[in-house]
Amino acid sequence: MVTTHAAMGAALSALLLPVSPRFAAVAALAAFCGGVFPDLDLLVGEHRRTLHYPDYYVLLSLPLAGLAVLRPLTATVATASFVAAAALHSVADAFGGGLAPEPWIRDDHRGVYCRARRRWVRPRHWVRWDGAPEDLALHGVLALVCIVAFDGTVQWLVVLSLPVSAVYTAVRRRLPEWAPWLLE
Q: Applying CB under 5 A, which residues contact Zn ion?
A: 38-39, 93
CB of residue 46 to Zn ion, shortest distance in Å? 12
Q: How far is CA 6 from the centre of its chain?
A: 5
CB of residue 69 to Zn ion, shortest distance in Å? 28
Distances (CA, A) of 51 to 37, 42, 69, 83, 139: 8, 9, 26, 12, 22
CB of residue 39 to Zn ion, shortest distance in Å? 5
Q: Which C-beta is closer to Zn ion: that of 55 or that of 93?
A: 93
Q: Which C-beta is closer to Zn ion: that of 48 or that of 155?
A: 48
Q: Which C-beta is closer to Zn ion: that of 2 or that of 24?
A: 2
CB of residue 75 to Zn ion, shortest distance in Å? 26
d(CA 3, CA 110): 21
Q: Which C-beta is closer to Zn ion: that of 27 or that of 88?
A: 88
Do 125 and 108 form a contact (C-beta atoms < 8 A)?
no
Cα four-point dihedral sign 6, 36, 53, 14: negative
